[in-house]
Amino acid sequence: MSEDAQRPEGETSRRDVLKSTAAMTLLGAAAGAAQAHAEEEKPIARKGRIKQSLVQWCYADYWDIDKMIGVAKLLGVGSIELGDHKFLPAIKAAGLDCAIASIDMSPDMPFDKGFNNPKYHDRVIAATKQAIDVCATHGIKRVIAFTGMAEGLPNDVGATNCVEGFKKVVEYAQKHDVTICIEMLNTRASDHPMKGHPGYQGDHTDYCIDIIKRVGSPYLKLLFDIYHVQIMDGDVIRRIHQHKDYIGHVHTAGNPGRGELDDNQEILYPPIMKALIDIGYTGWVAQEFIPTRDPLVGLKQAVALCDV
């Protein structure tokens, strides 16, 4: 006679218990897998207190624009910036912003020919106005700018030339509601053309801030690149508070090396992001590191760190 036939009515057999336990285990595992999959599908950036952007040139060797748009959406990042202007329609059509636009001065890089030298003023002012027109067409609120290389000019002369040059273009920027953001760049790193810029004149935060103050327009601000600031000046959080009224855009990268925001570099990013929140910063923070490994893995880590 079977066990089921022998047991009194209402009594549960060991076989029933085992079946039930196995079923519950399978259901639990399935639910756990579903939850894990759902977590993977959620964007990395969820809190919304820091608006994040991808700098296109850093990842262009890995992804075309369509793939980069997909990566931005996967991460919960709302912008792709500093790419070729021809990509702007696709970026905007995908529902993303471009946090800051580049200046097309090919074949010369724009940080070589800047506002510090009068012999480049006509050219750089025309290029900046052209970029502002692009911004106005696509609803972009910021455009990048540079002091330029010193080329033997004393710092005070270069600063005065910058003031005069920016004064010639800042009203045009205001007319189109576009903010020009001067980027401070480091002059110490010399092992890679995009990790440092020996000879660049605007290589200290206070130098660039002085130019901005002398121009005296809310449409000229600082591109506060945390990587460059750390190398040249340090004291990043104090500087964020000190210059809160002049910060128009923010970039990230690990130092040394301009790599990922990981444990191989010295900058602790979450407190810096909290400092930006403390000062009421509502602009963008862009991931501008040069990948040393799978760029998506690095971006997931960086976006999560900055999502405070």
Q: How many alpha carbons fall within 13 Å on the CB side of residue 103?
A: 27
| pLDDT, mean of residues 159-188 | 98
Domains for the chain: give ranges and CATH numbers.
3-35 (no CATH), 47-306 (3.20.20.150)
The span from the CA of 29 to the CA of 136, in Å, is: 53
Per-residue model confidence as pLDDT tens digits over 107-138: 555 678 999 999 999 999 999 999 999 999 99
Percent of the chain scoring above 90 in pLDDT? 83
Classify residue 251 as exposed, middle or buried by CB count within 10 Å of its CB (0-12, 13-18, 19+): buried
Q: What integer pLDDT is reported at residue 32 of this predicted model? A: 44
For position 12, what pLDDT does the model report?
Answer: 52
Residue tagged 């919960």 (tokens): 76
52-61 average pLDDT score: 97
Q: Which H/E stretch holds residue 284?
A: strand 284-287
| Average of per-residue pLDDT across 213-238 | 98
In this predicted structure, which of 29-43, 199-213, 235-249 has the lowest mean pLDDT? 29-43
Tell me the per-residue pLDDT of 252-281, one tens digit each, with 9 for 90 and over: 999 999 999 999 999 999 999 999 999 999
pLDDT at residue 8 is higher than 60: no
pLDDT of residue 37: 41
Tokens representing residue 48 in the block: 């919304």
Exposure string of 157-168, with b = 16+ CB inside 10 Å and e = fewer, is ebbebbbebbee
Predicted confidence (pLDDT) per residue in 74-112, tens digit: 999 999 999 999 999 999 999 999 999 999 765 555 678
Of 14-23, 177-186, 248-257, 269-278, give the lowest mean pLDDT range.
Answer: 14-23
pLDDT of residue 148: 96
pLDDT at 108: 59
pLDDT above 90: residue 297: yes
pTM listed for this prediction: 0.87
Report the pLDDT value the prediction gives residue 104, as an integer from 0 to 100.
75
Distance CA 207, CA 235 (A): 16
